[in-house]
Amino acid sequence: MIITLDGPAGAGKSSTARALAARLGWWYMDTGAMYRVLALSALEDAVPLDDAARLARLAESLAIAFRDGRVFVGDRDVSAEIRTERVTAATRPVADAPPVREVMKRLQQRLAEGIDVVTEGRDQGSVVFPRAELKVFLTASPEERARRRHREEVSRGAATSLNTVLAAQNQRDEGDRVRPVGAMHAADDAVLVETDGLTSDEVVERLVQLVEERRRPRET
């Protein structure tokens, strides 16, 4: 069974997807991490970030693997490196390239073949797994998302204000909306889950309920 979890940055997708997968004993696929790995490799190999064809070839050649909650390229653990500012900034143009998205889509479909997966990203329900058994679009108000991101950044030692975080987020949201490819929108048949005022445990609980509801008819 495949559960897709899409939504804007700051909606709590990653922690929710991770916790849900752990709870169900399923595999968790972090597709943002896959785009980040490609951006890291492009920077290291000096592949221009606007050369879509070379980026797509690079994507095809990468041995991306997830093990024990860590991200690897071959045997190298890149979990920390892919979260740096530099890689985050490079990921956007990389993820905007249509040929790259095609390669990633095939790779994601192959990785999820025949197993139970919680997959998380922007386009998982709408593009990559249109026939997923359960599609969730996780969202929260801009203020709530900015508050969470601000808390997270402060806990990492960053000196930033809530207003700065909110302004940057608004800009990213706008970028997401107007992207020619990979634009974020909920699949028509996605369940919208608004997380304002819910604890992460409550969100996971709600999703577990949804999974149970979807499974029941298949098992009777």
- Shortest separation between residue 7's beta carbon and ligand DC, angstroms: 10
- Shortest separation between residue 143's beta carbon and ligand DC, angstroms: 19
- Shortest separation between residue 218's beta carbon and ligand DC, angstroms: 27
CB 164 within 8 A of CB 154: no
For ligand DC, the closer CB: 101 or 207: 101
The residue number whose beta carbon is nearest to ligand DC equals 32
Which residues lie across from 121 on neighbouring strands? 6
For ligand DC, the closer CB: 31 or 211: 31
Tokens of 128: 């990559």
- Shortest separation between residue 154's beta carbon and ligand DC, angstroms: 18
For ligand DC, the closer CB: 31 or 213: 31
Handedness of CA 169, 148, 160, 80 (dihedral sign): negative
- Contact positions vs ligand DC (CB under 6 A): 9, 31-33, 35-36, 91-92, 95, 121-123, 182
- Here the contacts of 126-131 (C-beta below 8 Å, separation 24 or greater) are 126/6, 126/185, 126/186, 126/187, 126/190, 127/101, 127/182, 128/4, 128/31, 129/2, 129/4, 130/187
For ligand DC, the closer CB: 12 or 182: 182
What phi, psi does 160 have (nearest 5°)? -145, 155
